């Protein structure tokens, strides 16, 4: 199992098993809250902004608004969604769970329905969607996976903030049987990131990006310094952490390409490594020197080896939004380029006509 996956599992408590070491969530009102067998709602908590979403069910207002937008967009494609379940109270979740325990025993119930306090239906952020055979047939959640509606949701649900919460083949992580009908609202940003990065479960996303410990360790602040590159003020997307400045590797390669300090960048996906070769021209990939949006980012420490002219480096790197950010001084020292910082003007100077100098503190 890849190391970053192990970290994600451990961070989300997936490794300790279902209904073990249960923690009460501190952010039940957040759209992004993780609720599962290891994370429970505070006793007595209930959402206070429920609105109708059809067939007599309710969701929290933001989720309902996005579901309505989704229905409108899908409706133009001739697709129809029926809601089979939405918000369920603690009482109603208790009744659902107990009914299955009585019918099939506790073990069976525990992979089919969440215990009260652990259900996303209590958050008012989950929908069970159903298929209706013909125009008058009964609503069926089981039949939903084979429908065009389901296929459309898998491709487009993220644009409205919805994720398939219990995908097939991940029971050991999310704890339940495959539930093609159960869709969770997590917001457009998170749902889209999971789609782009192909993260299958919310536990993995949480473990990598939302766990408070992970956030504290990997939060990078936007760097607001003016950067003078060979004398010209130049906009780079850059971040700061622990006194270091992190620049996008491709931006630096692009900027240095017109100088005698140029280097080429070769990606090797199989070996999870990048090779930099000095003296060779950099081939632009498109998107270099794009401006950041000025927001802080949670970066994943990149499990990546970087080689310079065939020798492995110890560069500190982070992965942000799929791009590699590298510690400016690590790289500039290695290729012998001057980096200066003016504390009065908070300006960073990069000068390829001078050699690297250590900072004297
Ligand atoms: Zn459900």
Q: Would you give the DSSP letter of residue 251? A: H
Residue in this structure with the two tokens 């970066």, named with its chain if needed:
299
- What is the per-residue pLDDT across 8-36, written as a single tens digit (0 to 9) for each? 777 778 888 889 889 999 999 999 999 99
Whether the pLDDT of residue 53 is over 90: the answer is yes
Whether the pLDDT of residue 361 is over 60: the answer is no
Non-local CB neighbours of 266 within 8 Å, separated by 6+ positions: 274, 275, 276, 277
Ordered DSSP codes for 84-146? EE----HHHHHHHHHHHHHHH-HHHHHHHSPPTTS-HHHHT-EEEEEEESTTTSPEESGGGGG
CA of 49 to the centre of ligand 1 (A): 19
Q: Which residue, 144, 149, 148, is CA-closest to 128? A: 144
CA of 213 to the centre of ligand 1 (A): 29
pLDDT at 176: 95
CATH of domain 3-210: 3.30.1380.10
Non-local CB neighbours of 221 within 8 Å, separated by 6+ positions: 239, 240, 241, 296
pLDDT at 103: 95
The verdict on whether 159 is a catalytic residue reads no
Q: What is the mean pLDDT of residues 294-307?
A: 81
Non-local CB neighbours of 267 within 8 Å, separated by 6+ positions: 274
pLDDT at 217: 77
Q: What are the extents of the domains in the chain?
A: 3-210, 220-351
Whether the pLDDT of residue 150 is over 90: the answer is yes
Global pTM?
Answer: 0.69
Handedness of CA 293, 296, 298, 304 (dihedral sign): positive
Q: How far apart are CA 337 and CA 339, in angstroms?
A: 7
CA of 114 to the centre of ligand 1 (A): 9
**Which of 58-72, 83-97, 290-304, 327-341 has the weakest average pLDDT?**
290-304
Among residues 149, 179, 203, 204, the one annotated as catalytic is 179
Q: How far apart are CA 221 and CA 273, in angstroms?
A: 26
Ordered DSSP codes for 175-193? -S---TTEEEE--HHHHHH
């Amino acid at each position: 199992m890849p190391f970053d996956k192990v970290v994600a599992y451990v961070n989300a408590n997936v490794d300790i098993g279902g209904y073990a070491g249960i923690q009460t969530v501190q952010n039940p009102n957040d759209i992004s809250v993780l609720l599962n067998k290891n994370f429970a709602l505070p006793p007595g908590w209930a959402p206070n902004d429920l609105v109708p979403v059809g067939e007599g069910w309710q969701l929290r207002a933001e989720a309902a608004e996005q579901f309505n937008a989704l229905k409108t967009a899908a409706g133009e494609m001739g697709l129809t969604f029926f809601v089979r379940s939405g918000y369920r109270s603690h009482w109603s979740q208790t009744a659902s769970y107990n009914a299955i325990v009585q019918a099939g025993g506790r073990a069976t119930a525990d992979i089919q329905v969440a215990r009260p306090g652990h259900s996303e239906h209590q958050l008012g952020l989950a929908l069970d969607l159903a298929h209706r055979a013909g125009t008058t047939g009964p609503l069926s959640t089981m039949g939903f996976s084979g429908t065009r509606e389901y296929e459309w949701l898998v491709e487009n649900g993220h644009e409205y903030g919805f994720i398939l919460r219990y995908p097939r083949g991940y029971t050991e992580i999310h704890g339940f049987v495959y539930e093609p009908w159960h869709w969770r609202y997590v917001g457009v940003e998170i749902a889209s990131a999971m789609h782009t990065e192909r993260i299958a479960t919310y536990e993995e996303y949480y473990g990598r990006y939302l766990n408070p410990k992970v956030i504290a360790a990997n939060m990078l602040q936007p760097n607001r310094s003016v950067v003078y590159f060979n004398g010209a003020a130049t906009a780079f997307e850059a971040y700061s952490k622990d006194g270091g400045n992190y620049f996008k590797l491709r931006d630096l390669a692009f900027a240095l390409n017109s100088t005698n300090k140029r280097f080429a960048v070769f990606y090797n996906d199989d070996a999870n490594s990048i090779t930099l070769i000095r003296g060779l021209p950099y081939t632009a990939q498109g998107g270099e020197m794009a401006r950041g949006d000025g927001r802080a980012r949670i970066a994943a420490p990149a499990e990546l080896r970087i080689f310079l002219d065939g020798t492995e480096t110890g560069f500190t790197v982070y992965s942000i939004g799929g791009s590699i950010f590298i510690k400016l001084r690590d790289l500039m020292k290695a290729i012998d380029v001057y980096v200066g910082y003016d504390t009065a003007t908070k300006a960073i100077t990069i000068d390829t006509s001078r050699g690297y100098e250590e900072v004297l503190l």
